[in-house]
Amino acid sequence: MTDSPPPAAAPDDPEFARFAALADLAGVLPYARRDALSALLSDADIATLRHLAARGMGANTLRALAGDLAYLERWAAAATGAPLPWPAPAALVAKFVAHHLWDPARRAADPGHGMPDGIAADLKAAGALRVAGPHAPATVARRLAHWASLHRGRGLAGPFEEPKLKTAIRLAMRAADRPRGRKSERAVVGETVEQLIATGPLDRLIDRRDRALILLAFSAGGRRRSEIAALTVEDVETLDPVAADPADPQAPPLPCRRIRLGRTKTTDASDDACAFLVGRPVLALEAWLKAARIASGPLFRAIDQWGNVADRPLSPQAVNQIVKKRAALAGLDPALYSAHGLRAGFLTEAAAQGVPLPEAMAQSLHKSVQQAARYYNDAERRRGKAARLLG
C-alpha cells in the first residue's frame, strides 16, 4: 500500500495546519494514519507528540503513544461528550478503568457493570474497539502509563500518583488478572530456525535475504523486528576471525561481525549496544549482500515480483511476515509463529544448550534478569525430576 497524498487545503486552514504538523512526524505516523489523526487529535495533542519526538523518544514508543492518545480521545468523547481534559481528573481515570476492566460474570447479572453498551457501540463504529469483553490488564496498564507520560509531556502532574486512585487501579488490575498472552505462541528455537531456512533453494534473492535475516535475528540475541528493519550496512563491523572451539588452538577460524544496534527498547543510542555474529550467520549475510549488490544503506530490503531490490528497508511488519511465510513453507502453522518467537527462542535455546545466563543476556540485551531467567527456569524444570515423578 502506498502513502496517500496530503489533503488539498489552503495553508491558513486549521485542518491543513494540523496535518502539516503531523507531517513532521513522518517517520512515525504514515500518511494513511495522519489523515485520521489530524481530525481526531487537538493542536495540544499534536504539540505534545512533537515535543516528545524532539526529545528523542523512540519511534515505536512514540507510535504507541499516538495510538493510545487517539483511543483516549475517542473514549472521552464517547463517555463524556467532550474532548479529553488536561489534566485529567482522578474521577475520569477511575471511569476509564471501570469501563475497561470488569467481570463478565457480574455483567451478566448487572448490565450497568463495565462499559455501557452505548459507549461500546460508539467506539466500535469508529473502529477503536475490537474486543467484546473486558480489555487485557496489560493493555489498560499500558494506556494508563502512556496517559501519565502525555501529562508529563505537557508539563502537567496529572492524578496518577494520588494514593486513592493508585489503590483503586491496583485492586482493579488484581481482580481482572488473567494469564499474560504470548507475543508468539511458539518460541523459534534452533530446530525451528533450521526448518525455516531450509524452505528456499537459495537460487533466488528473496531466499538469500530471508535466510540471512532469520539467522541474524536469531543469532544476534533474538533481535526485535524493529531492530532488524533499522539495520544498515554501516552497522556491520568486520572483526578478526575467532576459533570454532576457543579451547582448541588448532580449530578452524570462523568469520566474526559486530552488529551495532543503536537505540533499542532497553538501550539508548549512547549505550553503544551491540551483538556479535560468528560463523554461518555471517556467511549468509555476506552472500545476501553480494547477490543483492548492497554496499551501503539498509541491510534488509524489499524485493519486487521481478526480483528487483528496492532502496528502502523492510518494515517491521514485513520482517514478521517473512517469519510467518517461512513457517508456512516449512509445513508449520504460521499463526503460532512470529518474529518475536526468535527472541523467546534465543533464550530458550541458550538455556537448553547450557549457555550461562549472563552471557545470553549480554547478547540478547535483556535488562530484566527475572524475565530472562524465566526461560532458564522453564528449561531446568523440564529436565528435572520433579515434573516426571510418575514418568
Residue pair 288/211 in contact (Cβ under 8 Å)? The answer is: yes
In this structure, the number of other CB atoms found within 10 A of the CB of residue 38 comes to 22
351 contacts: CB under 8 Å, gap ≥ 6: 357, 360, 375, 376, 378, 379, 380
Angstrom CA distances, 152 to 57, 74, 114, 139, 147, stand at 13, 21, 29, 20, 9
- Distances, alpha carbon 306 to alpha carbons 229, 303, 332, in Å: 22, 8, 27
Residue type, 152: R
Rg for the chain (alpha carbons), in Å? 24
The more confidently predicted of residues 17 and 347 is: 347
A 10 A CB-CB count for 5 gives 8
Using 50, 70 and 90 to split pLDDT, how confident is the model at 34?
low
pLDDT at 13: 53
Residue 255 phi/psi, 5° resolution?
A: -65, 150
Residue 10: the pLDDT is 46
The CA angle 135-179-143, to the nearest 5 degrees, is 35
CATH superfamily of 190-386: Intergrase catalytic core (1.10.443.10)
CA distance 94 to 82: 17
pLDDT digit string (tens) for 259-318? 998 766 665 555 678 999 999 999 999 999 999 999 999 999 999 888 899 999 998 889
pLDDT at 18 over 70: no
Q: Are 262 and 235 in contact (CB under 8 A)?
A: yes
Q: Angle 78-82-87 (CA atoms, 0-180°, nearest 5)?
A: 110
- pLDDT, tens digit (0-9, with 9 covering 90-100), for 163-206: 888 888 888 877 765 555 455 568 888 899 999 999 877 779 99
Least confident of 187-196, 240-249, 253-262: 240-249
Q: Tell me the average pLDDT across 222-235.
A: 92
C-alpha grid cell, residue 147: 496517559
Lowest model confidence (mean pLDDT) among 156-165, 181-190, 223-232: 181-190
Residue 178 or 239, more confident:
239
C-alpha dihedral sign at 292, 295, 301, 302:
negative
What are the two backbone dihedrals, phi and then psi, of residue 342, each rounded to the nearest 5 degrees?
-65, -35
Question: pTM of this prediction?
Answer: 0.62
For 53-98, what is each residue's pLDDT tens digit? 767 666 667 778 888 888 999 999 999 999 999 999 999 999 999 9
**Based on the number of CB atoms within 10 Å of its own CB, is 208 exposed (0-12), middle (13-18) or buried (19 or more)?**
buried
Residues 98 and 78: beta-carbon distance below 8 Å = no
Domain boundaries, the chain: 14-175, 190-386
